[in-house]
Amino acid sequence: MDVQSVMQELESMGKERMKKIYLSNGAHEPLFGVATGAMRPMSRQIKINQPLAEELYATGNYDAMYFAGITADPKAMTEADFDRWMDGAYFYMLSDYVVAVTLSESPLAQDIADKWIASGEELRMSAGWSCYCWLLGSRPDHEFSESKLSGMLEAVKNGIHDAPERTKSAMNNFLYTVGISYSPLSEEALATAREVGTVEMKRPNKKSSFLNAYDNIRKDLDKGRLGFKRRYVRC
């Protein structure tokens, strides 16, 4: 399938209800409103196609950009490619659920995520912390430096309340993910989350969200979910 046929197929799957949901979360035109699950049959047909993914991402259409993340070849993408995709990620559903997810399947993941976290830019920081969530939730514990992650927990404790709003959410998710998916630091993550307490995330034109990683870690530990790993990151 070429980019035109994929766009036509995506348009045919668009639903006004989904479009309104995406718009309310920060998406803007152009978009069709395609439910992510509806994309699976087409993704199984196309599988991995990096040139097509690049064309789709460049359209600026939210649904096409999301589908680009499904069909991309992360191992073929360079740091410049990921930075270019990040430049086009204009709201968190792209930065955290398309770019960060795609990056998490790249051998460059930690190096690039570290640079994004240090960037001072809200969505880059959010994508960097989110990438670590996808990594920790899917890769074996031995692939990570315990001392590095411990330092990152300290950085969350010291910085989350003053971080940009979307970065707060990703940092909170990082606390939770270390607590559940990275067994060596589960207790440290729980203690850090207790110190952090409730985090207020302000949202444009909406009521604030109140995030509490400690409560969520505690609940899932009580359910025996320590060590949880996903089999797949992308759809």
Structure confidence at residue 235 (pLDDT): 62
Mean pLDDT by 10 residues, the chain (235 residues): 96 98 96 96 96 98 98 98 98 98 98 98 98 97 98 98 98 98 98 98 90 97 96 79
Each domain of the chain, given as residue ranges in start order, spans 118-234
The CA distances from residue 1 to 37, 44, 48, 163, in Å, are 19, 12, 12, 42
Asked if residues 19 and 34 have their Cβ atoms less than 8 Å apart, the reply is no
What CA–CA distance (Å, rounded) separates 169 from 86?
A: 18
Q: Which residues contact 169 (CB under 8 A, 6 or more apart)?
A: 92, 126, 201, 209, 211
The CA distances from residue 131 to 38, 82, 123, 193, in Å, are 24, 12, 12, 19
Q: Which of 204, 209, 118 is nearest to 169 (CA)?
A: 209
Asked if residues 88 and 94 have their Cβ atoms less than 8 Å apart, the reply is yes
Asked if residues 193 and 179 have their Cβ atoms less than 8 Å apart, the reply is yes
Q: Which residues contact 215 (CB under 8 A, 6 or more apart)?
A: none
The helix/strand/coil state of 209 is: strand
What CA–CA distance (Å, rounded) separates 214 from 217?
A: 5
Structure confidence at residue 107 (pLDDT): 97
